[in-house]
Homo-oligomer: A and B are copies of this chain.
Amino acid sequence: MKIAVLPGDGIGTEIVAEAVRVLDALDLKFEMETALVGGAAYEAHGHPLPEATLKLAKEADAVLFGAVGDWKYDKLDRPLRPEQAILGLRKNLGLFANFRPAICYEQLTHASSLKPELVAGLDILIIRELTGDIYFGQPRGKRVATDGHFPGADEAFDTMRYSRPEIERIARVAFEAARKRNKRVTSVDKANVLETFQFWKDVVTEVHKDYPDVALEHMYVDNAAMQLVKKPKAFDVIVTGNMFGDILSDEASMLTGSIGMLPSASLNDSNQGLYEPSHGSAPDIAGKGVANPLATILSAAMMLRFSLNQEEAAQRIETAVKAVLAQGLRTPDIWSEGTTKVGTREMGDAVLKALA
């Protein structure tokens, strides 16, 4: 078994280092190999996703990813910007199924913007399609408009699209996941306006016939954005396209108030996966040793579960993280009066100790 370790930029190196220490401590048989990605790779090799990094990721059973991006790369041409690395990995590895849990940890309920009673015990799983939609649809670019409100004017355009098999496979992933949970799927679309999402809705409805034990509801994306705020606990599994999933999964993570705790997994057909925290590279606090490594450590647990078939080890990590929270240890992002403020490394130390 081989893990590609891609720390990336900003706090990426610090938080991935802690996850690697945790993985090392498990004493399992796998090899880890580190490579540059994002801005760090651009600086060294002139490209955010160098050939060697992509090759390593493809060969590995799983990728442990930190975060990429920094304001200083904003002026680069789009193909050279750090986030192209993550899009390139998703595309090249065919990582179509993104799992984004939005969980509110008991001890961190107060950290939410929402009133405690609305988020206590929150546990939503957002499943976002990750290799289709307007993210990758062709054609796209700039041209002179030939119709619309201003024929003759410069315009830019993109193509939203979904094919039947793309919708079918992500719908199956969602129904299967719901079976292991509360057996409810909310499919989010904009069928009242978009052809793509009328088709999405139709195909999800068809696939649902194979899962009569799971309840399916359809919801417009604007309404979903509202219901997440109004009554987040009404959701179990949400399945949606790449663009809507980008927006709703971030909204949902922020609702928990502790995005620094939330892992994510992106899988392909053969359970090869990329695992990364739900938060970003946070260049403002990079190098200060204060970043929360728990989302990355929990991403490593998801990796053990989904790609490396090590359920027991995954649970050991998750139990250790809960123990550390119970001890009152908190990085600054989740700190509150009465708890103990610790840095990235101390948090990693505490998880290691709890594992032992």
| Residues 133-148 of chain A, each 1 if its beta carbon lies under 8 Å from chain B, else 0 | 0111110111001011
B residues within 8 A CB of A165? 149-150, 153
Distance in angstroms between the alpha carbons of A255 and B158 in the assembled complex: 31
Is A160 located at the chain interface by the 8 A CB criterion?
yes
Residue with the greatest number of chain B CB neighbours at <10 A, chosen from A134, A137, A138, A158: A158
Contact A157 B149, beta carbon cutoff 8 Å: no
**Known contacts A135-B193, A250-B225; is A148 also within 8 Å of B160 by CB?**
no
Q: Is A253 an interface residue (CB 8 A)?
A: yes
Partner of A156, one of B195, B244, B247: B195
Of all chain B residues, the one with the shortest Cβ separation from A253 is B226
| Residue from B87, B159, B221, B229 within 8 A of A159 (CB atoms) | B159
B158 adjacent to A195 (CB under 8 Å):
yes
> Which of chain A's residues 243-296 have a Cβ closer than 8 Å to chain B?
243-244, 246-251, 253-255, 259
Does residue A327 face the partner (Cβ distance < 8 Å to B)? no
Chain A's interface size range is 35 or more
Bound state CA distance, A244 and B221, in angstroms? 10
> How many monomers of this protein are in the complex?
2
B residues in contact with A83, CB < 8 Å:
192-193
A161 close to B (CB within 8 Å): yes
Does chain B have a CB within 8 A of A350?
no
CB atoms of A195 and B81 under 8 A apart = no
In the complex, per-residue mask of A317-341: 1 if CB is within 8 Å of any chain B CB, else 0:
0000000000000000000000000
A155 at the interface (CB under 8 A from B): yes
Closest to A158 in B: B160
**Contact partner of A155 among B147, B199, B229, B248, CB < 8 A?**
B199
With CB as the reference atom, state the residue of chain B lying closest to A149: B166
User: How far apart sit A259 and B227, CA to CA, in the bound complex (Å)?
Assistant: 12
Q: Which of A87, A94, A153 has the most CB of B within 10 A?
A: A153
Nearest 4 CB-CB pairings of A with B:
A156-B199, A155-B163, A157-B161, A226-B254
Contacts beyond the supplied A222-B249, A229-B251: 17 A-B pairs with Cβ under 8 Å = A94-B149, A140-B194, A142-B199, A145-B163, A149-B166, A153-B166, A154-B164, A155-B163, A158-B194, A158-B196, A159-B159, A159-B160, A222-B250, A225-B254, A226-B259, A228-B251, A229-B254
